[in-house]
Amino acid sequence: MNKKVLIIGSGLGALTAALRLHRRGYQVELLEKHHQPGGRLNQLKVGGYTFDMGPTFFSMTYEFDEFVKDAGIEMPFRFQQLDALYTVNFRGSERRFTIYRDLDRLAREFEGIESDFRNKMENFLQKAGRFFHDTEDLVIRRNFNSLWDYLLTLSRVPLKHSPLLIRTVWDEMVRHFESREVREIFSLVAFFLGATPFDTPGIYTILSYTELRHNGYHNVEGGMYQIVEGLKKELDKAGIPIHTNVEIVDFVEKGEDLQALVDQTGKHWQADIFLVNADAAVFRGRVFRRREFGEEKLKKMKWTLAPFTMYLGLDTQIPNLELHNYFLGNNFREYSNGIFKNSINLDKPYYYVNMVSRSNPLSAPPGHESMFILCPVPDLRFKPSWDDRQQVADGIVLDLSQRIGFDLKDHIVTQTVLTPLEWGQRFNLYQGSGLSLAHDLSQMGGLRPRNFDEKYRNVFYVGASTVPGTGLPMAVISSRLVVERIQKAYGPLHAQRAEV
């Protein structure tokens, strides 16, 4: 008998799970609060300029290869491997560092800054790489049925890696490198996880290994939203509808099962199986009203930094910027330690600039540029008001203008600013937190909200706040893991579309 799966949300985890389930014979339907699919992997079009709203690059492309094979489709978009990964600029210094994957070229960037850089980096990457390969299949790419199962799995991780659990990313930097510049640049990976190197476990130095050695970074031809558009075409072909502007706010249960979800208009949505792509902790707390995820509990959990994002359409070409650029200050530790609690000075922010039109020329009219700026800021628990949004935005434009020696202000044709308030409201992100639950030791693996429900047998979860974690490749793995669970619970269906 055909089983109907209702997916709540249309982020990457949802879209990939939908196609995997369809291949297995399930009837799938998606509900989405926003007016278009993609979740945080979304798109903004303003006055002739097009912007990717959130993600700008990703690693582990082989997870997408695994997905298309599993879903029985052709890759619906094309990756572009980044050659120079990004540049890093420090306040008050003319010197710009370009991060290359080629270690000889990279070493030249740090001549006169870090002695014996190449050997030190080689040692650092070898160590991170060994940890990555010893844990990728064992921990990252698998389900945990219980806490015991998780602990048992951890006990199989070679003991030599245990210091990485105790140390932070910053500790690892200090152990391997001496210069401030190298330590700060290669600990930026912690910010990619929405945290700081001082509170992120040393195991996440694996991100340096993935960026520099393993699979590198990629973006997508025509912009990151091509991922969503490509997947949407596949959903259309499969006859899987996405109902947009539908927000689930309530539920109806029947014994040990969930019978229906109720949207903001009171409409009941029934299905055999429910797959929640909305945040796995927030949905349990706010829709299912679970005590373990009540407001006080959510507040105490560790959440990632929130995004303050700007989307600028510019009427000229901008000099002195590459595709991906980081602008750091000269008070790294102080800034990192203050950022979560809002004791930083947003007059001198740390931010990332993506020149969208360099990789996607169609995103701006000829001779113009589209620019995306991301500044990680405290979530709404620590900075609830964004009345100063324009002031912060103006400050960033001024700072960037000074640092690239080009006055941007007179060239801005369109400017859209999203604070954690809008990010939170649009996608139901907890207090505007950009990357969902943080990845400290108490919120990883078997300790993260599970991808199956504690109460209802027919409810499952997919996405950044359940296993394995945040980021695009993790969302794709998350869909593999949850589909594995659903298939285990419901078995192969009669309407199986193909051998999977």
* Site residues for ligand FAD per CB under 6 A: 8-14, 31-34, 39-41, 54-58, 247-248, 277-278, 307, 309, 374, 427-428, 434-435, 463-464, 470-472, 475
CB of 366 to ligand FAD, least distance (A): 27
Q: Between 25 and 432, name the residue whose CB sits nearer to ligand FAD.
A: 432
Q: Between 169 and 482, name the residue whose CB sits nearer to ligand FAD.
A: 482
Residues whose CB is less than 8 angstroms from the CB of residue 190 and which lie 6 or more positions away in sequence, other chains included: 169, 170, 196, 197, 199, 200, 204
Surface-to-core class of residue 64, CB atoms within 10 Å of its CB (0-12 exposed, 13-18 middle, 19+ buried) = buried
Q: Between 114 and 279, name the residue whose CB sits nearer to ligand FAD.
A: 279
Residue nearest to ligand FAD (CB): 11
Task: Give the 3-state DSSP-derived string for the chain, with helices as H, strands as E and coil as C.
Answer: CCCEEEEECCEHHHHHHHHHHHHCCCEEEEECCCCCCECCCCEEEECCEEEECCCCCECCCHHHHHHHHHHCCCCCCCEEECCEEEEEEECCCCCEEEEECCHHHHHHHCCCCCCCHHHHHHHHHHHHHHHHHHHHHHHHCCCCCCHHHHHHHHCCCCHHHHHHHHCEHHHHHHHHCCCHHHHHHHCCHHHHCCCCCCCCEHHHHHHHHHHHHHCCCEEECCCCHHHHHHHHHHHHHHCCCEECCCCEEEEEEECCEEEEEEECCCCEEECCEEEECCCHHHHHHHCCCCHHHCHHHHHHCCECCEEEEEEEEECCCCCCCCCEEEEECCCHHHHHHHHCCCCCCCCCCCEEEEEHHHHCHHHCCCCCEEEEEEEEECCCCCCCCCCCHHHHHHHHHHHHHHHHCCCCHHHEEEEEEECHHHHHHHHCCHHHCCCCECCCHHHCHHHCCCCECCCCCCEEECCCCCCCCCCHHHHHHHHHHHHHHHHHHHCCCCCCCCCC
Q: Between 54 and 201, name the residue whose CB sits nearer to ligand FAD.
A: 54
CB of 22 to ligand FAD, least distance (A): 17
CB of 265 to ligand FAD, least distance (A): 12
CB of 188 to ligand FAD, least distance (A): 12
As a whole number of angstroms, the distance between CA 169 and CA 197 comes to 5
CB of 367 to ligand FAD, least distance (A): 27
CB of 465 to ligand FAD, least distance (A): 7
Q: Between 8 and 364, name the residue whose CB sits nearer to ligand FAD.
A: 8
Q: Between 20 and 40, name the residue whose CB sits nearer to ligand FAD.
A: 40
Q: Could you tell me which residues are beta bridge partners of residue 184? A: none
Q: Between 108 and 289, name the residue whose CB sits nearer to ligand FAD.
A: 289
Token pair recorded at residue 383: 């900075």
Q: Between 107 and 400, name the residue whose CB sits nearer to ligand FAD.
A: 400
CA angle 237–490–136, rounded 5-degree value: 80
Q: Between 13 and 76, name the residue whose CB sits nearer to ligand FAD.
A: 13
Strands 459-461 and 273-276, by their bridges, are parallel
Q: What are phi and psi of 485, to 5 degrees?
A: -65, -45
CB of 46 to ligand FAD, least distance (A): 17
CA angle 460–464–466, rounded 5-degree value: 40
Q: Between 7 and 107, name the residue whose CB sits nearer to ligand FAD.
A: 7
Q: Between 107 and 374, name the residue whose CB sits nearer to ligand FAD.
A: 374
CB of 286 to ligand FAD, least distance (A): 8
Q: Between 374 and 408, name the residue whose CB sits nearer to ligand FAD.
A: 374
CB of 279 to ligand FAD, least distance (A): 7
CB of 429 to ligand FAD, least distance (A): 7
Q: Between 107 and 242, name the residue whose CB sits nearer to ligand FAD.
A: 242
CB of 413 to ligand FAD, least distance (A): 22
CB of 28 to ligand FAD, least distance (A): 15
CB of 405 to ligand FAD, least distance (A): 27
**What dihedral angle (degrees, nearest 10) is formed by the CA atoms of 444, 261, 248, 23?**
60
Token pair recorded at residue 336: 């990192």
